[in-house]
Structure 1
Amino acid sequence: MKTIVSEAIAQRATEIADTASVVRDVGSIQDPPCSAAFLDQVRVILLRSRGVKDVAYQADGKLLCSSSLGSRAQSIPPLAHPDFVAPNGWRLWVSAELAQAPGVKAMVLNADHVVVARLPNIDPPAMLGRRHQLSIVRIGPMGSVVTGNGPVVGLSETALRAGKPIITSERMLVSACTGWLCYVLSMRWSDVALAHASTLAAAAAGGALLGIIGAALVQYWITRHASMDRALRRAMQRRELELHYQPIIDTSTGTCVSAEALMRWFRKDGSQVDTSEFIEVAEAGGFAIDLFLLAVRLASQDLSTFLRFNRNFKVSLNITANDLLEPQLFQILHEYFELRGIHPNQIALELTERRIVDTAAQADSIRKLREAGYLIHIDDFGTGYSNLSYLSDLSVDCIKIDRSFTRHVTDGSSQSRIVPPMLEIARELGLAVIVEGVETEEQRLYFADRNVKRMQGWLFAAPMPAEALLPLAGRQIWAPPRAQDLPATT
């Protein structure tokens, strides 16, 4: 089955290959440039094209004629700086407004004397927004490279800023940078090549065209990313975001002892926006702290009365490493929790391991939070740092085994062999353990046999609104199946 990214590349490759074909055909015309015979042949070439709408001829940086305007094209001003320049000098504007058609935007390719404008196809929804396909990378002081979101790309600043595709036996990476922020798309090259070998071969025949395809993909994603940024900010103003809570169960008793607060975005039409995508946008846009503050306010609003009368129940909130540097963090927690009668030890702050702290100020903030009584959990444990000494350095309270390990614990894979050492590390450091993503009885039994009691997942309960959680909180909501109900083993 073709993947979303495969389709995206195929679409861009088809557009670029068709455009390159027009460039080559126009370049082979023997009649004098801009003569009547020349323009007639250009118009015949356009009839064969699947998307090119106009072709112009230029010399010394000035347009001399075009298939739509003839010699009147000389009055069209040159375009601004291109979005991408290939090593062979070809230039690409991903979305340029056409002077001859105000309000109409087109992809423009300039190759030597030929300038081609085509109307790009509409992107399928969420074409490039999947978290596992995109990495957002920050370039820090002295050229340090830190992956803020998505898979670690392992590229240097020079490689990132070069913008050239990097192809390995498994993946194709393309990047685009704006200042200190770079976007990197990672694609399964083997799938793409198998599904679209002929299309990509035609596109790659242009030498630098593979780079142009990559630049077009990244630029289209950036455009879509900016649109999502604006939509998310509006959604926050319109109160379209709300918290759902997934129960965490003590499986020794079946009691719902805590819950994780998860942000959800429901549009006015009832549709739901992918959570990982809008969280990613907020982090890249620098306003993830606003989401955290919203989560604090909503959790307090939803649960403060219940928490005041149920001191053993806890709620966990997701927080980013950068949120730890918010000057008003402690004041906000104090105002929305402590002043409303909620003890700090009823609130756990979940810090994702993939974006763990990397400054002394962030580590100091964690220490102060724990001194104030707040609990610190490391979320998605096992997906980030390979050096686990930071667990003792930060003095955290709990680790949460990521669902990517949970789903494999019973299949004998390499991921299943990693879980026992994780549990041993937690025991040696005296840390509590919560298992995420428990969906089957086999997974539950695996961890129960290893003395892990607290679990979270669809086997027990899905995320739910506060009004659905409250009747369940602090009560037994699950019981293990009876022996006679378990499937027979041979």
Structure 2
Amino acid sequence: MNRRQVICTAILLALIGAILPLGLAFYIAWTRTVAQEQRDLEATAHSGLQHAQEVLAQIEDTLRYFQTLAVKPCSQEHIQQMRAATISTREVDEIGYFRNLALKCSSWGRIQERIELPAPDMVLGNGVELRLNTFPMASPNTRMIDIFYRSHNVLSDPVRFVDIELDSSMQIAVLTANGKLISSRHGPSPEVVQKVLSGVQPAMDREVLSVMARGQDFSVVVTEPRSKIVEKLRREQMLLLPMGLLLALIIVGLVVWFSRRRLSMVGELGIAIERKEFSVHYQPILELQTGRCIGAEALIRWRRPDGRMVRPDLFIAIAEEHKMISQITEQVFRIVIRELRDMLVADRDLHIAVNLSAQDMQNGRALKALHRMLAGTGIEPGQIWLEATERGFMDVDTARATIGTAREMGHAIAIDDFGTGYSSLSYLQQLPLDALKIDKSFVDTIGTDSATSSVTPHIIDMARSLNLLIVAEGIESEAQAQYLKDKGVHFGQGWLYAKAMPVGEFLSFYEVNLRESGAPFPQVLKEL
């Protein structure tokens, strides 16, 4: 090969080496943009479905409350109670009382003219009736959703069912399980919505992207113009086109190298720790016998600067792998103390459970940091429970030493997600634990024919034989709660009672629970 051939070959390889990365980058930009938009739509649809179900659940709770209210129908006290509910419950705009399907009184007062209920648009499995086009006397031009149960109804603004964070380019529609529209935002096409419901609309066509989430009572359809993707893709491509081919090869190589370091999950996680981008949500823990909230589990959340949430099971595993988990644990302690200090000092009966990783159990760094943080706050160490999974107890000698230190400091220690790891009765007997948490996977088998359904009572018996407090995770049904209550399980948490929530919502939940339960603080905790 002569000099000219070498130069030509080098130029050709340089051109190929520059063009291929650009072409690949454009292709990846397209597929990633489409995939991300689809994920965003799916997240919005599931968020909308969850929100609609929560709105309905709140309304159903209000209706059931009035069914059990021991007052004379349409008395002044009855009407006052209905008015109070409309003020205190955001989802409730008006409440009415019916006798023989005729309206007798409402939160506005007694009704003189005869108003009868029309046929429902949908009847739920629990007997709750939905009427989607009700126009109240007080505002005859305003469409409301009528939710009726036995002798009371609630009127709710349809907007309540779609009141979620929504990108301005997205359209959302909430429908009944039989396909009737409850409410929508940003004007989704009725034709597209019906096609999505019937399954004939592709996830992406020439005009729109669409997704659907189905629940027991509702379906949610979210759409977005395809032009949104084209605009994003064009912006990405226009940044690359002006570059020369040879320069593109060098710059793209540097950008890829730098981006992989800077934007990898490990790099992002390190920056998130430095910038303190984490927050804490609190899932209430209730005493099963009384229904009183006796504390909460602190759960870490990470929202990236672009607004996207990163699942804890993803970044916690990476933090453990790269020895960053203790720094995150310390931030959780700091947030809990900052957000709940006044509440914990005011109510010594409350406790907050914080998870420790296997590394936290081994190095003891988090305990030392917690000891420093609690100094001068007025929070008692016993109000901070420490939870560790079975993996954290694999090194029994180290775990015993860490637990001993924590208990000397005044903290209670719980083994979390019990039954999913390595523990046995002889294993637990070696550790001075205070509580055992039954993993959700076992709670889910209650009342089923699952092969592991018999494990739950054995776990309960094991914990009771060791005089441990028992906390059941992931309770989602009344049947599960009743079974656990009958078995003597002390505490429970799960979506039956409340999801994990930001501090403001948790404080409100606690105040409402405290007023409604009226139960004394459980003696079993006072004996810890």
* TM-score, structure 1 normalization: 0.53
CA distance in 1, matches of 2:321, 2:19: 32
Matched position secondary structure for 2:283: strand
Alignment check: 8 A CA contact 1:248 1:455 kept = yes
CA distance in 2, matches of 1:230, 1:106: 27
Residue 234, structure 1, aligned to residue 271, structure 2: yes
In the other structure, the counterpart of 1:420 is: 457
Deviations 1:111-150 (A, max 9, x none): xxxxxxx9899665699xxxxxxxxxxxxxxxxxxxxxxx
Unaligned 5+ segments in structure 2 are: 39-259, 518-528
Matched position secondary structure for 1:101: helix
Deviations 1:10-62 (A, max 9, x none): xxxxxxxxxxxxxxxxxxxxxxxx9xxxxxxxxxxxxxxxxxxxxxxxxxxxx
In the other structure, the counterpart of 2:156 is: none
In the other structure, the counterpart of 1:101 is: 18
Alignment check: 8 A CA contact 1:253 1:476 kept = no
C-alpha deviation, 1:404, in angstroms: 1.0
In the other structure, the counterpart of 1:439 is: 476
In the other structure, the counterpart of 1:452 is: 489
CA distance in 2, matches of 1:224, 1:478: 52
Q: Mapping of 1:150-165 within 5 angstroms?
A: none
Match of 2:506 among 469, 472, 475: 469
CA distance in 2, matches of 1:355, 1:326: 11
Alignment check: 8 A CA contact 1:460 1:478 kept = no
As a proportion of its length, which structure holds more helix?
A: 2
Deviations 1:278-320 (A, max 9, x none): 1111111110001100001001101112211211110000111
Go from structure 1 to structure 2 and tell me whether the alpha carbon gap of 1:119 and 1:395 turns closer, same or farther (over 3 Å shift): same
Deviations 1:180-239 (A, max 9, x none): xxxxxxxxxxxxxxxxxxxxxxxxxxxxxxxxxxxxxxxxxxx79981111122223333
Letter matched to residue 467 of structure 2: G
C-alpha deviation, 1:357, in angstroms: 3.6
Go from structure 1 to structure 2 and tell me whether the alpha carbon gap of 1:414 and 1:327 turns closer, same or farther (over 3 Å shift): closer
Deviations 1:235-282 (A, max 9, x none): 233332101111001122111001000011123343322121111111
C-alpha deviation, 1:409, in angstroms: 1.1
Go from structure 1 to structure 2 and tell me whether the alpha carbon gap of 1:386 and 1:348 turns closer, same or farther (over 3 Å shift): closer
C-alpha deviation, 1:350, in angstroms: 0.7
Go from structure 1 to structure 2 and tell me whether the alpha carbon gap of 1:306 and 1:412 turns closer, same or farther (over 3 Å shift): same
Moved more, 118-127 or 329-338: 118-127
Alignment check: 8 A CA contact 2:286 2:492 kept = yes
Go from structure 1 to structure 2 and tell me whether the alpha carbon gap of 1:400 and 1:99 turns closer, same or farther (over 3 Å shift): farther
Residue 276, structure 1, aligned to residue 313, structure 2: yes
Go from structure 1 to structure 2 and tell me whether the alpha carbon gap of 1:125 and 1:289 turns closer, same or farther (over 3 Å shift): farther
Alignment check: 8 A CA contact 1:304 1:337 kept = no
Go from structure 1 to structure 2 and tell me whether the alpha carbon gap of 1:99 and 1:325 turns closer, same or farther (over 3 Å shift): farther
Letter matched to residue 100 of structure 1: G
Alignment check: 8 A CA contact 1:357 1:363 kept = no
C-alpha deviation, 1:387, in angstroms: 2.9
Deviations 1:155-202 (A, max 9, x none): xxxxxxxxxxxxxxxxxxxxxxxxxxxxxxxxxxxxxxxxxxxxxxxx
CA distance in 2, matches of 1:471, 1:121: 44
Match of 1:264 among 295, 298, 301: 301
Deviations 1:66-88 (A, max 9, x none): xxx97438999xxxxxxxxxxxx
Residue 334, structure 1, aligned to residue 251, structure 2: no
Matched position secondary structure for 2:302: strand
C-alpha deviation, 1:104, in angstroms: 3.5
Alignment check: 8 A CA contact 1:246 1:259 kept = yes
In the other structure, the counterpart of 2:405 is: 368
Go from structure 1 to structure 2 and tell me whether the alpha carbon gap of 1:358 and 1:74 turns closer, same or farther (over 3 Å shift): farther
CA distance in 1, matches of 2:262, 2:415: 28
Go from structure 1 to structure 2 and tell me whether the alpha carbon gap of 1:269 and 1:125 turns closer, same or farther (over 3 Å shift): closer
Go from structure 1 to structure 2 and tell me whether the alpha carbon gap of 1:394 and 1:453 turns closer, same or farther (over 3 Å shift): closer
CA distance in 1, matches of 2:470, 2:286: 12
C-alpha deviation, 1:376, in angstroms: 0.6
Q: Mapping of 1:2-401 within 5 angstroms?
A: 71-72=9-10, 100-101=17-18, 104=21, 227-326=264-363, 328-358=365-395, 360-401=397-438
C-alpha deviation, 1:468, in angstroms: 1.9
Letter matched to residue 409 of structure 1: I
In the other structure, the counterpart of 2:467 is: 430
Letter matched to residue 72 of structure 1: A
C-alpha deviation, 1:103, in angstroms: 10
Go from structure 1 to structure 2 and tell me whether the alpha carbon gap of 1:425 and 1:454 turns closer, same or farther (over 3 Å shift): same
Alignment check: 8 A CA contact 2:320 2:359 kept = no
Letter matched to residue 300 of structure 2: M
C-alpha deviation, 1:390, in angstroms: 2.3
Letter matched to residue 10 of structure 2: R
Alignment check: 8 A CA contact 1:254 1:478 kept = no
CA distance in 2, matches of 1:361, 1:354: 12
Matched position secondary structure for 1:467: helix
CA distance in 1, matches of 2:269, 2:424: 35
Matched position secondary structure for 1:340: coil
Letter matched to residue 389 of structure 2: T
Letter matched to residue 316 of structure 2: I
CA distance in 2, matches of 1:374, 1:454: 18
CA distance in 1, matches of 2:370, 2:461: 33
Deviations 1:349-386 (A, max 9, x none): 11012443415233211111112211111111110015
Unaligned 5+ segments in structure 1 are: 1-33, 35-63, 77-97, 108-117, 128-222, 480-490
CA distance in 2, matches of 1:347, 1:266: 25
Alignment check: 8 A CA contact 2:439 2:473 kept = yes
Provide the aligned length of Structure 1 versus Structure 2.
289
Go from structure 1 to structure 2 and tell me whether the alpha carbon gap of 1:105 and 1:436 turns closer, same or farther (over 3 Å shift): farther
Go from structure 1 to structure 2 and tell me whether the alpha carbon gap of 1:275 and 1:329 turns closer, same or farther (over 3 Å shift): closer
Letter matched to residue 294 of structure 1: Q
Matched position secondary structure for 1:286: coil
Go from structure 1 to structure 2 and tell me whether the alpha carbon gap of 1:417 and 1:477 turns closer, same or farther (over 3 Å shift): farther
Segments of 4+ moved more than 4 angstroms = 73-76, 118-127, 223-226
Go from structure 1 to structure 2 and tell me whether the alpha carbon gap of 1:452 and 1:414 turns closer, same or farther (over 3 Å shift): same
* TM-score, structure 2 normalization: 0.49
In the other structure, the counterpart of 2:200 is: none
Go from structure 1 to structure 2 and tell me whether the alpha carbon gap of 1:106 and 1:363 turns closer, same or farther (over 3 Å shift): farther
CA distance in 2, matches of 1:71, 1:120: 30
Letter matched to residue 387 of structure 2: E
C-alpha deviation, 1:105, in angstroms: 9.0
Letter matched to residue 460 of structure 1: Y
Instruction: Please give the root-mean-square deviation of Cα atoms over the aligned residues, in Å.
Output: 3.5
Go from structure 1 to structure 2 and tell me whether the alpha carbon gap of 1:224 and 1:252 turns closer, same or farther (over 3 Å shift): farther
Residue 406, structure 1, aligned to residue 443, structure 2: yes
CA distance in 2, matches of 1:263, 1:430: 30
Go from structure 1 to structure 2 and tell me whether the alpha carbon gap of 1:399 and 1:359 turns closer, same or farther (over 3 Å shift): closer
